[in-house]
Amino acid sequence: MAQTRILPPADNAYQYPLLIKQLLLSGPRYSPDQEIVYANRSKYTYTDLVERIHRLANALTDAGVKPGDTVAVMDWDTPRYLECFFAVPMIGAVLHTINVRLSPDQIVYTMNHAEDDVVLVHDDFLPILESVKGEIKTVKTYIQLTDEASAKPAQLATAGEYEAMLASAKTEFDFPDFDENSIATTFYTTGTTGNPKGVYFSHRQLVLHTMAMTGSLSVHDEMPLLRSSSVYMPVTPMFHVHAWGVPYAATMMGIKQVYPGRYEPELLVDLLKEHKVTFSHCVPTIMQMMMGTESIKTADLSNWHVLIGGSALTKGLCDAGAKLGIHMYTAYGMSETCPLLSATHLTPEDMELPLEQQTAKRVKTGIAAPMVELEIVDPDGKPVPHDGEAKGEVVARAPWLTQSYFKEKEKGEELWQGGWLHTGDVASMEPDHTLVIKDRIKDVIKTGGEWLSSLDLENLISQHPAVAGAAVVGVPDEKWGERPHALVTLKPGEEASLEDIQNHLKQFVDSGEINKWAIPEQMDFVEDIPKTSVGKINKKLIRDQLK
């Protein structure tokens, strides 16, 4: 280590630890009367938010929560959840955001693995817990959440209902200072194999993620996402990577926030219209559902900017959105990365391009965010050229990456190799620093000694006018090692055959985008493509079903 100069502080000097409580300082100062909306149910101000966070801290403490405890939440996307984002870590406890879309068995697995002490549970999810009641090992206290006048009668003994507890709690809590490396949040990744794995983020990591996100979503005039006049509505769930961390950034800056509760497409579109939402983040599936509603046809969406993540933004979806006025961009990250790694970056010159060429840029994985280092490496960990052609595994460094998997030392050591987090994604890097994800390493189709990107193929298939969606996996083949097999869903009332799709793909062979051997001989036309609990194509399941 270099012998740099480090000086001792004066007596009494405050050595500022980075803590989540500091993210709550500026928003309420800038915009005390700014609104936080809960669907079509209720709204309150930033001043109210601060008071409710103090009340919640008192209520939790009264219920026995201590620093170091784990407090789990099972809720829809609500301002209550936002309150938990702050109050739980601010008292020194760990917030476990439970993925309510997992199976009851997986949910109880994550609760036991995280060693949850307290669970805040919405009426709607109470039956899940009641069904696995005997298997829950560490929970001492349940607190009920409800959207009705009073909570549902529960079989589980509960300490009370959230609103009632807040109402009787004191309005001021003296939030302590502590080590900035204290764990603030944890949640479980939903891999397609094995048990869910716990990732976790410290106060320091979340503060740095929030600060970098605020800058990078605010500064670009070509992508004005987080501005004081923005209206933010999350459309990826709050249990999943803290809704990409945007609620922290929006709160820090005092921006209007709209929480939709349940993800019902008609409701979401109504909220977009009513509150003139300007900024969301979303996965392609939900975006497609929203775009399929009747009510979207009468919405003015020309000021709606949407980061698309989770799965790749396809050209088809981006173009269809643009026809409705929606500005879509790609964001890249994963549970392990808090999540922000990179996002679309448009230059002023890009904005002057015809839409079709803009789309080509918007669907790319984008440019690394501030403070992030991205590299693409070969199996030996050596960087491959940034020529837009060479493929390598994406590895990352940033101040906010999970430092391991909770209680899974070996898996943590697979994740971190040589001081880089290995994403499991395969990408090329263009000379202008734009990352283009090609596939998951395990989904790449190895055919005839070449790597074929299942993602590229899905993209091209979905450009056929009759196609609604596509999934491509590699299936074993005696001659070629693997061959691509496609599942295709068609738009309502549309028809297409294997030959139609193959003919459609031939144009991309002619234009040099793919090789002839990339065209699948095997294709199933299906009603639905299997998805994981977070809406990604479940290729593991598809491969299993095709066996």
What three-state secondary structure class fits 116?
coil
- Which of positions 60-79 make contact with a copy of itself (CB under 8 A)? 66-68, 70
Q: Give the whole-angstrom CA distance, residue 524 versus residue 484.
A: 12
429 contributes a contact to a copy of itself by CB under 8 A: no
Considering the complex, state which of residue 22 and residue 131 has its C-beta at the smaller distance from a copy of itself. 22
Q: How far is the CB of 177 from a copy of itself (least distance, A)?
A: 8
Contact 108, 62 (CB under 8 A): no
Q: Which of 371, 369, 513, 378 is nearest to 435 (CA)?
A: 369
172 contributes a contact to a copy of itself by CB under 8 A: no
Q: Give the whole-angstrom CA distance, residue 74 versus residue 102.
A: 11
Q: Give the whole-angstrom CA distance, residue 271 versus residue 281.
A: 14
Q: From the list 53, 102, 235, 398, which residue makes contact with a copy of itself (rule: CB under 8 A)? A: 398
Kindly state the DSSP code that residue 248 receives in the 8-state scheme: H
412 contributes a contact to a copy of itself by CB under 8 A: yes
Token pair of 413 as six digits: 């050591």
Q: From the list 145, 372, 471, 486, which residue makes contact with a copy of itself (rule: CB under 8 A)? A: 372
Write the binding mask 321 to 350 for a copy of itself: x where contact by CB under 8 A, - elsewhere: ------------------------x-xx--
The string over 456-468, giving b where at least 16 C-beta atoms fall within 10 Å of a residue's C-beta and e elsewhere, is bbbbbbbbbeebb
Size of the site for a copy of itself (CB under 8 A): 87
User: Which residue do the tokens 């990744």 mark?
Assistant: 189
114 contributes a contact to a copy of itself by CB under 8 A: no
Q: Give the whole-angstrom CA distance, residue 484 versus residue 520.
A: 5
Q: From the list 134, 193, 229, 380, which residue makes contact with a copy of itself (rule: CB under 8 A)? A: 229
Token pair of 372 as six digits: 């992030």
Considering the complex, state which of residue 7 and residue 149 has its C-beta at the smaller distance from a copy of itself. 7
Provide φ and ψ at 87, rounded to 5°: -60, -40
Q: From the list 367, 376, 467, 472, which residue makes contact with a copy of itself (rule: CB under 8 A)? A: 367
What Rg value do the Cα atoms of the chain yield, rounded? 24
Considering the complex, state which of residue 18 and residue 286 has its C-beta at the smaller distance from a copy of itself. 18
468 contributes a contact to a copy of itself by CB under 8 A: no
Cis peptide before 339 (omega within 30 of 0): yes
Q: From the list 103, 171, 417, 545, which residue makes contact with a copy of itself (rule: CB under 8 A)? A: 417
Q: Which of 112, 117, 168, 161 is nearest to 141 (CA)?
A: 117
- Which of positions 118-157 make contact with a copy of itself (CB under 8 A)? none
Considering the complex, state which of residue 417 and residue 503 has its C-beta at the smaller distance from a copy of itself. 417
Q: Which of 159, 155, 128 is nearest to 144 (CA)?
A: 159
Going through 116-224 in order, the beta strands assigned E by DSSP cover 118-122, 141-145, 160-161, 183-189, 197-202
171 contributes a contact to a copy of itself by CB under 8 A: no
Considering the complex, state which of residue 86 and residue 200 has its C-beta at the smaller distance from a copy of itself. 200
- Alpha-carbon distance values, 65 to 61, 133, 157, 163, 504 (Å): 5, 21, 17, 17, 60
Considering the complex, state which of residue 274 and residue 432 has its C-beta at the smaller distance from a copy of itself. 432
Q: From the list 104, 160, 191, 215, which residue makes contact with a copy of itself (rule: CB under 8 A)? A: 215
Instruction: Pick the stretch among 121-129, 316-324, 392-400, 504-512 that binds a copy of itself (CB under 8 A).
Output: 392-400
| Angle of the 246-253 helix axis to the 79-90 helix axis, nearest 10 | 90
Q: Give the whole-angstrom CA distance, residue 394 versus residue 435.
A: 9
Catalytic residue set: 189, 336, 446, 451
Angle at alpha carbon of residue 218, lines to 216 and 219, rounded to 5°: 75
Write the binding mask 179 to 198 for a copy of itself: x where contact by CB under 8 A, - elsewhere: x-xxx---------------
Kindly state the DSSP code that residue 537 receives in the 8-state scheme: B
The string over 356-383, giving b where at least 16 C-beta atoms fall within 10 Å of a residue's C-beta and e elsewhere, is eebbebbbbbbbbbebbebbbbeeeeee
Q: From the list 4, 193, 298, 511, which residue makes contact with a copy of itself (rule: CB under 8 A)? A: 4
Q: From the list 43, 101, 220, 276, which residue makes contact with a copy of itself (rule: CB under 8 A)? A: 220
Instruction: Pick the stretch among 189-197, 204-212, 260-268, 496-504 that binds a copy of itself (CB under 8 A).
Output: 204-212
Write the binding mask 249 to 278 for a copy of itself: x where contact by CB under 8 A, - elsewhere: ---xx-x-----------------------
- Which of positions 83-112 make contact with a copy of itself (CB under 8 A)? 92, 94
Considering the complex, state which of residue 409 and residue 479 has its C-beta at the smaller distance from a copy of itself. 409
Q: From the list 226, 272, 277, 486, which residue makes contact with a copy of itself (rule: CB under 8 A)? A: 226
Considering the complex, state which of residue 6 and residue 149 has its C-beta at the smaller distance from a copy of itself. 6
Q: How far is the CB of 226 from a copy of itself (least distance, A)?
A: 6
Q: How far is the CB of 414 from a copy of itself (least distance, A)?
A: 9
- Which of positions 7-36 make contact with a copy of itself (CB under 8 A)? 7-16, 18, 22, 25-26, 29-32
Considering the complex, state which of residue 368 and residue 505 has its C-beta at the smaller distance from a copy of itself. 368
Q: Give the whole-angstrom CA distance, residue 117 versus residue 139.
A: 4
- Which of positions 505-534 make contact with a copy of itself (CB under 8 A)? none
Q: Are strands 305-308 and 327-333 parallel, antiparallel or unpaired?
A: parallel
- Alpha-carbon distance values, 176 to 87, 182, 242 (Å): 12, 12, 23
